[in-house]
Amino acid sequence: MRYIRQAAVIFAVTFAGEVLHCLLPLPVPAGIYGLVILFLLLLTGRLPVSAVREAGLFLVEIMPLMFIPAAVALMDSWELLAGRAVSYAVLTVVSTFAVMALSGRVTQRLLERETEAETEAEAGTKAEAETEAETEAETETEAETEAEAGHRNGKRSRVKKVKVA
């Protein structure tokens, strides 16, 4: 039942994209409207990820099957495409490499930010530890100095070493 409910949510968002496509005079495919709506719903928290997670994962798993009808349609339309096959092939290769390069750069930037944040957090923790160690050493040095001063004056002083937490 959970899969049916999640699929219904995805199909409802897809239907909303179809409605927007009919209402708006923009040359944007209905699927793009649906993706943007779903993204905004998930981003704003109006739709929790758990409401579509399992059905979404299932659809991603069977995605290769979704390309079969498109491939068959291309084969049926080969006469129309044959004259432009080279330009389509070049466009496909160039756009594939562009997407790969852009995805790689974005991923590198995100990893660099994450590494910088971890480094800053470690540096902050290390600085706190060093400050605590310095404070502890100063306290012990002061206590030892007071004890030495007491011995020089012929007095026995009882000075406890206290750790500052």
Quickly list DSSP for 29-79: -HHHHHHHHHHHHHHHTSS-GGGTHHHHHHHHHTHHHHHHHHHHHHHHTHH
pLDDT at 151: 57
Does the pLDDT at position 158 exceed 70?
no
pLDDT at 80: 86
Query: What's the sign of the alpha-carbon dihedral 13, 14, 19, 25?
Result: positive
User: Which of 133, 125, 141 is CA-nearest to residue 164?
Assistant: 133
User: Which of 132, 165, 156, 160 is CA-nearest to residue 144?
Assistant: 160
Q: Is pLDDT larger for residue 107 or for residue 118?
A: 107
* Arithmetic mean of pLDDT over the chain: 85
pLDDT at 143: 63
Q: Is pLDDT larger for residue 109 or for residue 151?
A: 109
**Token pair of 45 as six digits:** 């928290």
Separation between Cα atoms, residue 145 and residue 158, nearest integer Å? 12
Residues 7-19 have pLDDT tens digits of: 999 999 999 999 9
pLDDT at 55: 95
* Least confident span in 70-74, 78-82, 105-109, 125-129: 125-129
What is the residue extent of each domain of the chain?
A: 1-61
Residues 31-86 have pLDDT tens digits of: 999 999 999 999 999 999 999 999 999 999 999 999 999 889 888 888 888 889 89
> pLDDT above 90 covers what percent of the chain?
57
CA angle 29, 34, 36 (to 5 degrees): 100
130 pLDDT tier (thresholds 50, 70, 90): confident
